Amino acid sequence: MSSKLLTSTVNASTSARYTPTNLKASMYIPFGQSGSGCYGSTLGKLHAVYTEPIQSKVFKLALSIPCPSGSVFNIGDYGTADGGTSMVFLGQLITLLKQQHGPGAQFQVIYEDQGENDFNSLFRRLSGIIPDPPSYLIEMDNVYALACGTDFYKQCVPSHSMHFIMCMMSVQWLSKLPTVYKDSVYICHESPEHEKEALRKQAQLDWERFLLMRSREMKEGGVLFIGAPAEYVHQKTGQKRFCNDTFLTLMTKVWKSFTISGDITTQEFIDTNISCCVRNVDQMREPFVTEKSQVVESGLRLLSSELIFNKNIFYSSWKQKKDEEGIDDREGFARMMVSAHRQWSNHSFIAGLSESRSLEDKEKIVNNLYANVTTEIAKMDPEMLKDDLCTIHVLIKKIYK
pLDDT confidence of residue 326: 95
Assess contact for 29 and 347: CB atoms under 8 A. yes
> Residue 80, SS3?
coil
| Residue 45: closest CA among 378, 345, 373, 336 | 336
In a shared domain, residues 51 and 168? yes
Residues 6+ apart with CB under 8 A from 152: 78, 79, 112, 167, 170, 210, 213
In a shared domain, residues 197 and 163? yes
Q: Phi and psi at residue 10, in whole multiples of 5°?
A: -90, 135
pLDDT confidence of residue 142: 96
Domain that holds residue 127: 4-178+193-230+276-310+388-398
Neighbouring CB atoms inside 10 A of 104's CB total 10
In a shared domain, residues 264 and 381? yes
State yes or no: cis peptide before 133, omega within 30 of 0: yes
Helices (H), ranges, 168-219 = 193-217
pLDDT confidence of residue 10: 37
Q: Phi and psi at residue 201, in whole multiples of 5°?
A: -65, -45
Calpha distance 119→34 (Å, rounded): 8
Residues 6+ apart with CB under 8 A from 161: 74, 217, 219
In a shared domain, residues 222 and 244? no
Calpha distance 81→297 (Å, rounded): 31
In a domain, 356, yes or no: yes
Residue 256, class by beta-carbon neighbours within 10 Å (0-12 exposed, 13-18 middle, 19+ buried)? middle
In a shared domain, residues 158 and 267? no
In a shared domain, residues 221 and 334? no
Assess contact for 156 and 83: CB atoms under 8 A. no
In a domain, 358, yes or no: yes
Total of domains in the chain: 2
In a domain, 235, yes or no: no
In a domain, 69, yes or no: yes
In a shared domain, residues 245 and 96? no
> Residue 58, SS3?
helix
In a domain, 89, yes or no: yes
> Residue 224, SS3?
strand
Calpha distance 39→388 (Å, rounded): 20
In a shared domain, residues 141 and 39? yes
Calpha distance 11→27 (Å, rounded): 19
In a domain, 159, yes or no: yes
In a domain, 185, yes or no: no
pLDDT in tens, 20-72: 334 444 456 678 888 888 888 888 888 999 999 999 999 999 999 999 988 99
In a shared domain, residues 44 and 79? yes
Nearest-5° Cα angle at 351, 353 to 15 = 145
In a shared domain, residues 365 and 246? yes
Query: Which CATH number does the domain housing residue 11 bear?
Result: 3.40.50.150
Q: Phi and psi at residue 64, in whole multiples of 5°?
A: -90, -5
In a domain, 184, yes or no: no
pLDDT confidence of residue 28: 62
Calpha distance 128→112 (Å, rounded): 20
pLDDT in tens, 335-390: 999 999 999 999 999 999 999 999 999 999 999 999 999 999 999 999 888 767 89
DSSP letters of 351-384? Answer: HHS-TTS-HHHHHHHHHHHHHHHHHHHHTS-GGG
Residues of the chain predicted below pLDDT 50: 1-26
In a shared domain, residues 75 and 220? yes
In a shared domain, residues 207 and 320? no
Q: State the helix-helix crossing angle for 359-378 and 330-352, rounded to 10 degrees.
A: 150
